[in-house]
Amino acid sequence: MGNEIISSLVTSLALTLVLELLFALICGIRRWREILLVILVNVMTNPPVVLTHNLMRLNSPVFITIALEAAVVAIEGFAYKYSASSIKRPFLFSFGANVFSYLLGLLALHIYNGG
């Protein structure tokens, strides 16, 4: 059981990092400090959210998912605002990055499940 949770955490974080870094690169973020910041904010926010879903048996109501994702966008937005001077719209960037990774992650899961 523990192995499954750990596997879920690692897989989700890896996929999120790949997608959000891709989004950041597409949006023109090139400085290594800001790339590092993108990595750190996702390491900070992704595992707690995934673990929460696992502990709630992944049957959490939609509003819980929305609340968690909104909190993630806000926290990441603040991190970008105070630590990344070149990101002019930190909350919009955070929102876009999270929507991008969430939707493409959903697509990847759908393909993995043979949908």
CB of 8 closer than 8 Å to CB of 112: no
CB of 80 closer than 8 Å to CB of 37: yes
Q: How many CB atoms lie within 10 A of CB 42?
A: 22
- In one-letter notation, the amino acid at residue 37 is L
106 binds another protein (CB under 8 A): yes
Residue 43 or 67 with smaller CB distance to another protein? 43
17 binds another protein (CB under 8 A): no
Q: Which residues bind another protein (CB under 8 A)?
A: 1-2, 4-6, 9, 23, 26-28, 33, 36-37, 40-41, 43-44, 47-48, 51, 55, 57-59, 79, 82-83, 85, 88, 92, 96, 99-100, 103-104, 106-107, 110-111, 113-115
